[in-house]
Structure 1
Amino acid sequence: MKRVFWGMSSSQTATLGIQLRSTGFYVLSVLCFLPFLLCFPVLWMPRRFLVGLGCRYLRLQMWLLRFVCGVRHEILGRENLPAAPFLIASQHESSWETLFFQELLPDPVMFAKKEVFGYPIVGMVAQGVGHIPVDRGGSVDGMREALDKGVAVVRGGRNLLIFPAGTRRRHDKGRIQSGIGVLYAKAQVPVVPILLNSGGCWPSGTLLKYPGTITVRVLPPIPPGLDRQSFLTRLSEDMAPDHP
């Protein structure tokens, strides 16, 4: 039987209970963050301390999501994650994966909008963790520089997380941007496709959180060495919404 990973509709009924639970989640998240401000000097310490502190806060947020909002998660196919550095090609339905993949996946680096690095605290954390700034309205040379930084990250032993179908688009799942092909050809490492349905519980465009289970499905890696078109075709098939 095929299992579809589209996520639930974002037009779910926003009941009073869901509104109250979502509000409670944000209030508690802010209150729980306050003690972490005491650790502000850690932003200037080595990356392992910053990552460790951030992951502790993310685990706390996942606990709040579960017990306040009824949002759980499950990860299928962890055995498909290679031991060596690799590229992670994930679907992108909401902010959930941009936050919690930092904790749930092994040591990922992400591309992030350049503006994020100017935000108070958040920007310093993004820079300290090693995420790569991207000017989405910038030049071809700027994009090429960002891709080269991504390749350098992989060659340095870390995993690079990308969202090759773009940001939170439901109508064209499976459409793959060409940048992933460039990274694949240059990095010469496996690519691990990931399917998820986070948009059902954490829809984009709203602060509401809907109860349910977010399923993250890790597919078998695509080995290095394919020509670019063969790779893009296989990745598109793997990330199609009706992938079995």
Structure 2
Amino acid sequence: MLLLRSLVFDIAMYGLMVIVGILGAPLALWSVAGAHRTIKAYCAGVFWLLRVICGLRVEVRGEVPAGDVIVASKHQSFLDIIILAHALPRPSFIMKKQLRWAPILGLYALRIGSTPVDRGRRSQAMKEMVAHVETATEPRQLVIYPQGTRVLPGAKLPYKSGAGVLYDRLGKACVPAATNVGVFWSRRGRYRHPGVAVLEFLPPIPPGLPIQEFMRRVEGVVEENSDRLMREAGFDLATAAPGG
């Protein structure tokens, strides 16, 4: 029954993406604000489908950042992207370059100013990422996943330097974000488990720290609080695999 509910949800979620994406395209092309409104409408629809079909509720904790900041978030599944896109007033994302060509998703991601990154060209990708981000003229919440990929619950993957480079170059505060969404909806997992998926915004890290100190602090606070949220959801960290 759980697998059936999960399959029904996935079909409904992608069907909703097509419908909302097409209907909202004129609004999105007209203005960036229209793109944000369309994205938030889609996210709200996904939350409703999750609750009704799968018994999975979404909860956002902490003070939602509204200013011009960096958000360094734990990344466990597509669900944390949806939560951030809905909760933040004007989010944009550091995303892998291939997503530019994803139907509907790529259009809206680029429309809100997301930055495509080629993860296979590390030094060049870093320069291109910083150059693209620095062209932004409107205040926004720039979301980066410091581990660079989705991570299984309890897995320990290294934090990459991109978040530190952006923090140093932009001179902005960084709001860490922890989550337990992978307990209920893991990367490449077929099941959508019932429960409460939480994304929590943590106290901001002020600008001006050395990169190494910043990276140490952001990794410590995101990992510690993500572990806490996963334990709260009933996940046994002792049985987790060390890699993602």
**TM-score normalized with structure 1 length:** 0.83
Residues 84-123 of structure 1 aligned to structure 2 (within 5 Å): 84-123=67-106
Rounded Cα–Cα distance in structure 2 between residues aligned with 1:93 and 1:229 = 24
Tell me the residue number matched to 2:233.
none
Q: In the alignment, residue 27 of structure 1 is paired with which amino acid?
A: I
Offset, 1:124:
1.5
Greater RCO, 1 or 2 (C-alpha within 8 Å, sep 6+): 1
- Work out which of the two has the higher radius of gyration on C-alpha atoms and give 1 or 2: 1
CA, structure 1 residues 29+92, in 2 after alignment: closer, same or farther (shift >3 Å)? closer
Q: Which residue of 2 aligns with 1:171?
A: 155
Matched positions, count: 224
Partner of 2:110: 127
Of 49, 52, 56, 1:71 maps to 56
Secondary structure of the structure 2 residue equivalent to 1:27 = helix
State yes or no: 1:19 paired with 2:3.
Answer: yes
The more displaced of 59-68 and 44-53 is 44-53
Identity, % of aligned positions: 31
Given the superposition, is the C-alpha separation of residues 68 and 41 from structure 1 closer, same or farther in structure 2, using an over 3 Å criterion?
same
Per-residue CA deviation, residues 218-244 of structure 1 (Å, 9 max, x unaligned), is 111011111222212221221233677
Unpaired runs of 5+ residues, structure 1, are: 1-16
Q: What RMSD, in angstroms, separates the aligned Cα atoms of the two structures?
A: 2.1
Residues 176, 33 of structure 1: alpha-carbon distance in 2 compared, 3 angstrom cutoff: closer
Give matches, 1:190-229, under 5 Å.
190-229=173-212
Classify 1:162/1:205 alpha carbon distance in 2 versus 1 (closer, same or farther; 3 Å): same
Instruction: After TM superposition, list the pairs within 5 Å mapping 1:27-38 onto structure 2.
Output: 27-33=11-17, 35-36=19-20, 37-38=22-23
In structure 2, the gaps of 5 or more residues are 229-244
Could you state the TM-score of these two structures normalised by the residue count of structure 2? 0.83
1:156 to 138, 160, 166: 138
